[in-house]
């Protein structure tokens, strides 16, 4: 089966197709989450390995190479990712191991995973074509694994192409970034995303797409069960009479990570409206946010946003969730 790029990636794909005969040995495909960076990298990988490319340089989908790629068994392709992003079967096994007291799947790409590429890089192609290594997300490499990769980037083997996908390229070693050809992917226009979502039979609304930052794949991945909880929290935030403790009470059984993410988007919109702009994420609540922001000094909003950014780093594993929420909402209510 052949995979095709998303509609909003047509211009980028045309650029890649034009570069095919002089494609760099390493590419850094970067941009915000939810816009299809990994998908584009997989489309490119399959097309490089395909033995009978068709229109636009896309993979044919029917040759032996495409069949192997679709089944995840192509001998000239390697995917390097963290254990936490492993396929569903591996995740299920990891979950069972966790219940038995073993460690949870790592979110890092470890040095052994990069070292394991040695034989692949030093042995010739099985099909007399390219060999492709896809690393995603590249910023999940720890310093050891990044330095191990650096040697391969500095002295690339003939016919090997590295595709690094990154949500946050600034977290990569500067030496790694400097050895890659950077390809930035941008957000698609909202109307194009909505049209594509409609064609897929998705129930994503314009408001939900906006809350996902206009990233269509992120919008489709937002859990349905979170919507009611999030709306209730925003209803409480819209009421000036809601106390910090009542907000903390409501959130005390919720995972802190998503709540901090929601608050970042809520506060971003308050800052935008305080600066005579428009709401970006909560477009369906713009009137309530506009009324609420009247008593909030911009400087204090910016300080609170900075506080939220700091809290985000510990939100996955707070020492005490209740105290975490108490501190968060006390700081919020002190604005103004």
Whether this prediction's pTM lies above 0.75 is answered by yes
Q: Where in the chain is the domain with CATH 3.40.50.300?
A: 7-184
What pLDDT is recorded for position 310? 92
H-state helical runs in the chain: 10-18, 37-49, 64-71, 88-99, 111-115, 118-122, 143-154, 174-178, 190-199, 206-211, 216-221, 224-238, 244-251, 256-274, 286-292, 298-312, 321-333
Quote the CA–CA distance of 304 and 244 in Å, as a whole number.
Answer: 14
At 102 the pLDDT is 58
Q: In 3D, which of 249, 246, 286, 244 has the Cα closest to residue 265?
A: 286
The residues of the chain that CATH labels 1.20.272 are: 223-333
Give the pLDDT confidence of 286-330 residue by residue, as tens digits: 999 999 999 899 999 999 999 999 998 888 887 788 999 999 999
Q: How far apart are CA 1 and CA 57, in angstroms?
A: 15
Per-residue pLDDT reduced to its tens digit, 127-168: 878 999 999 999 999 999 999 999 999 988 889 999 999 999
- According to the model, what pLDDT value does residue 88 have? 43
> How many other C-beta atoms lie within 10 A of the C-beta of residue 178?
12
Helix/strand/coil for 210: helix
Question: Alpha-carbon Rg of the chain, whole angstroms?
Answer: 23
Tell me the fold of 223-333.
Zinc Finger, Delta Prime; domain 3 (1.20.272)
User: What does CATH list as the number for 7-184?
Assistant: 3.40.50.300
- Structure-derived torsion over alpha carbons of residues 238, 254, 85, 186, reported in degrees to the nearest 10: 10
Give residue 316's pLDDT: 81
Residue pair 60/4 in contact (Cβ under 8 Å)? The answer is no
pLDDT along the chain (336 residues), means of 10: 89 91 94 97 96 89 94 95 70 46 78 93 83 96 95 91 97 96 96 96 96 96 92 95 95 94 98 94 96 94 96 85 94 91
């Amino acid at each position: 089966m052949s995979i095709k790029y998303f509609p909003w990636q047509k211009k980028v794909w045309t650029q890649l197709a034009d570069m095919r005969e002089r494609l760099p040995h390493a590419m850094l495909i970067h941009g915000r989450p939810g816009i299809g960076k990994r998908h584009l990298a997989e489309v490119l990988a399959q097309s490089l390995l395909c033995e009978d490319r068709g229109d636009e340089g896309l993979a044919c989908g029917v040759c032996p190479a495409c069949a192997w790629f679709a089944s995840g068994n192509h001998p000239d392709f390697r995917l390097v990712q963290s254990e936490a992003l492993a396929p569903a079967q591996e995740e299920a096994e990891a979950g069972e191991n966790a219940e038995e007291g073993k460690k949870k799947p790592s979110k890092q790409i470890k040095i052994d995973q990069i070292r394991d590429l040695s034989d692949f890089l030093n042995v010739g192609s099985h099909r007399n074509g390219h060999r492709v290594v896809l690393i995603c997300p590249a910023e999940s490499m720890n310093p050891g694994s990044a330095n191990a990769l650096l040697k391969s980037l500095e002295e690339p083997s003939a016919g090997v192409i590295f595709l690094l996908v990154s949500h946050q390229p600034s977290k990569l070693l500067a030496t790694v970034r400097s050895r890659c050809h950077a390809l930035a992917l941008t957000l698609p226009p909202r109307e194009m995303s909505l049209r594509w979502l409609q064609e897929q039979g998705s129930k994503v609304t314009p408001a939900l797409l906006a809350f996902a930052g206009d990233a269509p794949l992120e919008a489709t991945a937002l859990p349905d069960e979170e919507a009611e909880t999030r709306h209730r929290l925003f209803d409480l935030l819209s009421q000036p009479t809601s106390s910090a403790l009542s907000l903390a009470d409501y959130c005390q059984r919720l995972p802190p990570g998503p709540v901090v993410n929601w608050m970042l988007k809520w506060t971003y919109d308050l800052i935008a409206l305080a600066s005579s702009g428009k709401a970006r994420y909560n477009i369906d609540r713009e009137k309530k946010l506009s009324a609420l922001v009247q008593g909030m000094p911009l400087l204090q909003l910016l300080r609170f946003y900075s506080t939220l950014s700091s809290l985000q780093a510990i939100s996955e594993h707070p020492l005490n969730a209740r105290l975490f929420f108490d501190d968060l909402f006390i700081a919020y209510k002190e604005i103004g």
